[in-house]
Amino acid sequence: MPHKDLLDIVSLEREEIEHLLDQAAPFKEIFTRSVKKVPALKGKSVLMLFYEASTRTHSSFEVAAKRLSADVTNFDVAHSSITKGESVRETIETLQAMRSDFIIVRHSRAGLPGNIARLTRASVINAGDGAHAHPTQALLDAFTIKEKFPDPAGKRVLIIGDILHSRVARSTSTILKKLGVEVAYLGPGSLVPKVGPENIRRFTDYAQAMAWSPDIVYLLRVQMERQDVQYFPSLREYHRLYGITEARLAGIRDRGLYIMHPGPVNRGVELCDAVMDYERSLINDQVENGIAVRMAVLYWLKPESVTG
Ligand code: CP
């Protein structure tokens, strides 16, 4: 059953996740054609409402919508009446007049896309809300992993970094657990919450985490904007303890492990430059797969204006 909105991964059944991932594969195949466009959403309108910076998610949704032949409007938050104090509710009520079929929202406030979804008949897609959820990132991560491991159940993914503040860690570990993947966290004690899912191993030491034998090492972005609070002594120290240094990359290469990162990467912090040329880095695959997965999501959701 298609949903009206996509706000998180928790709300999706495993079968729905499998369906979306299966749907993304033929959309990816379109990228190899000379005409990379299908008429699936011709006449539909997509409103992009990004209150927070984004490169990958924003451009990927825009390309996905255009490849489905939808019309895309970018709401310019910086030059809108929001800068004069207009509330999100007022903005949405005004934007309702545009009768968009899809609204794609990124906001620093957790839960805000859900609030918008209740105010509108359009399908709302959460493109990242605070530390809560980033469902399309999770879907593209799962798709990328399934390209390497078609049956990923039992595979092991080690997520390294700022688990505490990361919507990516939350959504991606949720989808992986739903697919039967084993997940562990590694990071400074201050950034790896002790409470949370019982069935996720937690490590604070790199060597111990690697002894757990992961198949994939998933690096989270260090959120530089949080460095006014000292969660770890310095970026140099973070790189030494948790980063993929040249020496660690050699060990990862010997073991044939894959490396993933949602971007944007901080070179010299989460990883050394050489990771970008590592033959088992899936970072560029993640970006390309993001378009296919977002096409599948746009195609699957049913705005109330469509279902009546
Ligand atoms: N992965 C991700 O959400 O990247 P952006 O912040 O560039 O959208």
| pLDDT score at 233 | 79
Give per-residue burial for 167-205: e unless 16+ CB within 10 Å, then b: bbbbbbbbbbbbbebbbbbbbbeebbbeeeeeebeebbe
Domains along the chain? 14-133+288-301 (3.40.50.1370), 135-282 (3.40.50.1370)
- Give per-residue pLDDT as tens, 292-305: 999 999 999 999 86
- Give per-residue pLDDT as tens, 218-272: 999 998 776 666 778 788 999 999 999 999 999 999 999 999 999 999 999 999 9
- How far, in Å, CA of 177 to CA of 191, rounded? 21
Return the residue matching tokens 């990328």. Answer: 144
Q: Is the pLDDT of residue 83 over 70?
A: no
| pLDDT score at 61 | 98
CA dihedral 132, 138, 140, 142 (to 10 degrees): 180
Which atom of ligand 1 has the smallest separation from the CA of 52? 6
pLDDT band for 23, please (50, 70, 90 cuts).
very high
Residue 258 main-chain phi, psi, to 5 deg: -90, 150
**Which of 43-52, 61-70, 185-194 has the weakest average pLDDT?**
185-194
- How far, in Å, CA of 77 to CA of 124, rounded? 17
Which residues on neighbouring strands pair with residue 159, listed in sequence order? 185, 218
Which of residues 224 and 282 earns the better pLDDT score? 282
Cα-to-centroid distance, 48 and ligand 1 (Å): 14
Indicate whether this model's pTM tops 0.75: yes
| pLDDT score at 229 | 64
pLDDT band for 92, please (50, 70, 90 cuts).
confident
Question: What is the strand order of the sheet 216-219 is part of?
Answer: 201-203, 182-186, 156-160, 216-219, 258-260
Cα-to-centroid distance, 282 and ligand 1 (Å): 15
Residue 128 main-chain phi, psi, to 5 deg: 120, 115
- How far, in Å, CA of 136 to CA of 61, rounded? 10
| pLDDT score at 307 | 47
- Give per-residue pLDDT as tens, 110-156: 999 999 999 899 999 999 999 999 999 999 999 999 999 999 999 99
Q: Which of 55, 61, 225 to mutate to test the pocket of ligand 1 (most atoms within 8 A of CB)?
A: 55
Which of residues 212 and 226 earns the better pLDDT score? 212
Task: Count how many Cα atoms sit within 13 Å of the Cα of residue 71 in the half-sphere of its side chain.
Answer: 8
Residue 252, SS3 per DSSP: helix
- Nearest-CA neighbor of 52 among 119, 108, 131? 108
Q: Is the pLDDT of residue 86 over 80?
A: no
DSSP label at 104? E
> Which residue has its alpha carbon closest to ligand 1 atom 5?
54
Q: Is the pLDDT of residue 212 over 60?
A: yes
Q: Which residues line ligand 1 (CB under 6 A)?
A: 54-57, 128, 137, 262-264
| pLDDT score at 227 | 62
- How far, in Å, CA of 137 to CA of 144, rounded? 11
| CB-based contacts of 81, cutoff 8 Å, min separation 6 | 90, 91
> pLDDT averaged over the chain?
92
Polymer length of the chain: 308
Residue 217, SS3 per DSSP: strand
